[in-house]
Amino acid sequence: MTSPLMEDAGLLPPSRRISLLRLLARDPSAMVALVWIFVLALVLVANVWFLQAYSVRVDLKLRNAPPFTLDNGWIYYLGADSLGRSMIARLAAAAGPSLGVAFAAVGFSLVCGAILGLVAGWMSGPVGTLILRVADMIQGFPTFLLALVVLYIFGPSVVNLVIVLGITRMPAYVRVARAEVLEIRERLFIDASRVLGASPWWMVRQHVLPIVAPTLLTIASVNLAMVMLIESGLSFIGLGIQPPAASWGLMVAQGRGYLSNAWWLACFPGLAIMFTTIAFNLLSSWFRMATDPQQRWRLEL
């Protein structure tokens, strides 16, 4: 849907590329989202640097220590969990797995979905039909239920989680890529390319992919928050990331038993999930608007 402008996205002169960044500065909500992503990046660095040690340090004197007090040092400012581990350090340690699974799953579904979609569109024979039918079946079935059954069968591990989440989100990429290829395939420049003796692989790479890619990237940006929510839900149920590894969804589950006497155990990791998904969603709607010629003016005002 955004292809007309996107077509020349690769041909933009440098000055217009910078203006894309300026557009970002003009959208306050996108800026806030970017700041949160930046904070997360800092947290990831801090985790590797020194926080990791605190996230496993058990201090039974500080069991369920309340938040918002500096009495126990700043590292316990957000309180401590049921084993007296610093909440700040635990949240930081969980950021990596939570974000990593989301990015890996979206990347996986983007790449595989694009390839399958291109194949389905380019070769509209039985292979294309089969790919489309399977995609329909996956899309029609409730995502969470599907992920649940498959994860149970193959065992909950990070790799399986990424594969399952990737596959359940794949149909959207397949259908969009296929639909665009079907349309592009009939255009004049493809005929010209074919007459000049280009191989199918070359035509797909040089002519089709640059047009399809931006649309697929838009879907990927929308999916990022969605995949993160599904992952946290699966981890909450106990079929996602497994202890001793940490994930925000898992932390909510661990805090569930202390709801009445230590609300912060379940509340803070949920807030972390929410802030991150909000940031992803805001950035993705900014991206959509900035790359859509019919919407772009809203940001250029």
Partner 1 sequence: MSFTYVLRRVAQSIAALLALMVVVFVLVRATGSPVNLYLPLDAPQALRDEMTIKLGLDQPIYVQFWNWLVDAVQLDLGMSLWQGRPAIDVVLSALPNTLMLGLVVLTISSLLAILIGSLAAFRPNGHFDRFAGLVSLAGASIPDFWLALMGILLFAVTLGWLPTSGSGDIRYWVLPVTVMVMRPLGTLVQVVRGSMISALAAPYVKTARAKGAPERRVIFVHALRNGLLPAITVAGDLAAQLAGGVTVVEVVFGWPGIGKLMIDAILNRDFAVLQAGILCVAAVIVTLNILVDIAYAAIDPRIQIQR
Q: What is the binding site for partner 1 (CB under 8 A)?
A: 133, 137, 140-145, 148-150, 152-153, 225-226, 229, 232-233, 236-237, 249, 252, 256, 259-260, 263, 266-267, 269-270, 273-274, 277-278, 281-282
42: helix, strand or coil: helix
Report the chain's terminal Cα–Cα distance, integer Å. 23
- Please name the residue that has the structure tokens 């280009």: 198
User: Nearest distance from residue 120's CB to partner 1, in Å?
Assistant: 18
Residue with smaller CB distance to partner 1, 163 or 252: 252
- Asked whether 121 and 113 are in contact (CB, 8 A), the reply is no
Residue 139 CB-half CA count within 13 A: 13
User: Nearest distance from residue 98's CB to partner 1, in Å?
Assistant: 11
DSSP state of 198: -
Phi and psi at 143, nearest 5°, equal: -55, -50
Query: Which residues are within 8 A (CB) of 76 and not within 5 positions of it... i.e. 6 or more apart?
Result: 62, 65, 69, 86, 87, 88
User: Nearest distance from residue 266's CB to partner 1, in Å?
Assistant: 5
User: Nearest distance from residue 12's CB to partner 1, in Å?
Assistant: 28
User: Nearest distance from residue 105's CB to partner 1, in Å?
Assistant: 16
CA dist., res. 92 & res. 90, Å (int): 5
